[in-house]
């Protein structure tokens, strides 16, 4: 009887040991597809994507420091590549959306210096180009006509009483002439008036500036008061590229930044400019600021209203840098994957700095010469999440 019990216990022990070993063996392996490695199962079967038989793969082991071991097949399928990080030159680059606008410093107003009625406008359309010296409008003004007649009268009196020592006609003539000059008549018009002694009811006024009409404020037969503006004229030799900047970007702007304006509608033409103005006041509703970059406009090919990009580049400096896609960033921070030994990878936290179109500065967390994953970093992150159940950044914070 005792022998029977002993045989039963021995059989049960080996049976349990065999089951534990089988379960342990099952836990050490999983099944995946060689064509679609994202497919994972705990038992044999077929891939639901390509219908191929799943292959058995030994589970990799990670230590408490987050090391991840991959097979040669996984490295090849994931296109995981590494490179040594070294010191190099990197500069910051910021791209802002902008719109071309008139340079208001080169804008002028053509105004009436005396009150009167507009008899004729020589330019009636927005966008018309006015050259300096062109006639712009005819004005009927009682005040100006009286001043012209007064000037002619004094000239006649001077001729008649030229030998009269008690009256300084020269001073009277100059005073009457100064009034005409003040009210907008030119030297040539005054000379013509003195020569012909004939005062016309309408006076033609000429432009003192050149530029394109950007505002037309009156029409013929309108009555003007002294100082009223008829035309707003802008010179297009220079334009402003006005860009919007968020408050979070202001700290990255430098007074030494090189401003480049890119025009997408002109074959990505790039023009160097100068930052002329940064609005000191921030709109509290939008948290947006405004900067202006002045650019030359040779041949007046650029037009106000065109879309543009303002590219601000800071001076380059020596620093460790990596390709942008080598750094994994989210709201919790930034990390990269390094190769600790063959086929073993580890996630490390880094502090980033300047970045441009394709590279980013590493301020801390890496040393010169370390082997860093530059291709497939996000696949390593996914593999870590699958094996560990959380993302590397959470592990670092813990």
Lowest pLDDT segment from 25-29, 71-75, 226-230: 25-29
Determine the pLDDT at residue 391.
Answer: 60
Tell me if residue 20 falls in helix, strand or coil.
helix
- Residue 393: pLDDT band (50, 70, 90) is low
* Cβ-Cβ contacts under 8 Å for 67 (sequence gap 6 or more): 340, 344, 345, 346
HEC readout, 182-236: HCCCCHHHHHHHHHHCCCCCEEEEECCCCEEEEEECCCCCCEECCCCEEEEEECC
Give the span between the Cα atoms of 277 and 368, in whole angstroms.
40
Give me the percent of the chain exceeding a pLDDT of 70: 82
The string of pLDDT tens digits covering residues 12-63 is: 444 444 443 344 445 567 787 767 766 778 888 888 888 888 887 666 544 4
- Residue 371: pLDDT band (50, 70, 90) is very high
Determine the pLDDT at residue 389.
Answer: 52
More confident residue, 392 or 228: 228
Q: What average pLDDT does the segment 209-227 reach?
A: 91
The string of pLDDT tens digits covering residues 99-138 is: 999 998 888 999 999 999 999 999 999 989 999 999 999 9
Determine the pLDDT at residue 66.
Answer: 53
């Amino acid at each position: 009887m005792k022998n029977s019990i002993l045989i039963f216990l021995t059989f049960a022990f080996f049976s349990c040991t065999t089951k534990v070993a089988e379960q342990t063996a099952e836990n050490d392996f999983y099944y995946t597809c060689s064509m679609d490695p994202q497919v994972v199962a705990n038992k044999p079967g077929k891939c639901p994507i390509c219908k191929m038989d799943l292959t058995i793969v030994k589970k990799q082991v990670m230590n408490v420091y987050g090391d991840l071991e991959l097979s040669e097949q996984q490295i090849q399928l994931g296109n995981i590549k590494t490179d040594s990080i070294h010191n190099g030159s990197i500069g910051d680059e910021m791209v802002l959306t902008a719109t071309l606008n008139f340079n208001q410093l080169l804008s002028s107003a053509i105004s009436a210096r005396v009150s009167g009625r507009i008899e004729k406008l020589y330019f009636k359309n927005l966008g018309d180009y006015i050259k300096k010296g062109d006639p712009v409008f005819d004005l009927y003004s009682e005040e100006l006509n009286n001043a012209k007649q007064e000037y002619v009268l004094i000239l006649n009196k001077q001729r008649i009483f030229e030998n009269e020592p008690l009256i300084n006609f020269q001073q009277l003539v100059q005073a009457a002439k100064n009034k005409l000059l003040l009210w907008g008549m030119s030297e040539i018009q005054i000379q013509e008036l003195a020569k012909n002694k004939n005062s016309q009811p309408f006076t033609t006024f000429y432009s003192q500036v050149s530029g394109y009409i950007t505002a037309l404020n009156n029409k013929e037969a309108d009555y003007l008061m002294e100082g009223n503006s008829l035309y707003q004229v802008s010179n297009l030799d220079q334009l402003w590229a006005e860009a919007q900047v968020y408050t979070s970007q202001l700290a990255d702007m430098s007074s030494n930044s090189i401003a480049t304006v890119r025009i997408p509608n002109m074959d990505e033409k790039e023009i160097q400019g100068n930052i002329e103005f940064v609005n000191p006041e921030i709109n509290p509703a939008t948290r947006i600021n405004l900067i202006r970059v002045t650019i030359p406009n040779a041949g007046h090919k650029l037009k106000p209203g065109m879309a543009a990009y303002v590219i601000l580049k800071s001076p380059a400096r020596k620093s460790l840098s990596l390709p942008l896609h080598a750094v994994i960033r989210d709201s919790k921070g930034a990390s990269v994957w390094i190769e600790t030994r063959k086929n073993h990878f580890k996630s490390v936290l880094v502090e980033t700095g300047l970045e441009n179109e394709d590279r980013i500065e590493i301020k801390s967390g890496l040393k010169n010469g370390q082997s860093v994953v530059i291709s497939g970093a996000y696949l390593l992150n996914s593999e870590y999440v699958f094996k560990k159940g959380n993302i590397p950044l959470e592990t670092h914070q813990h």
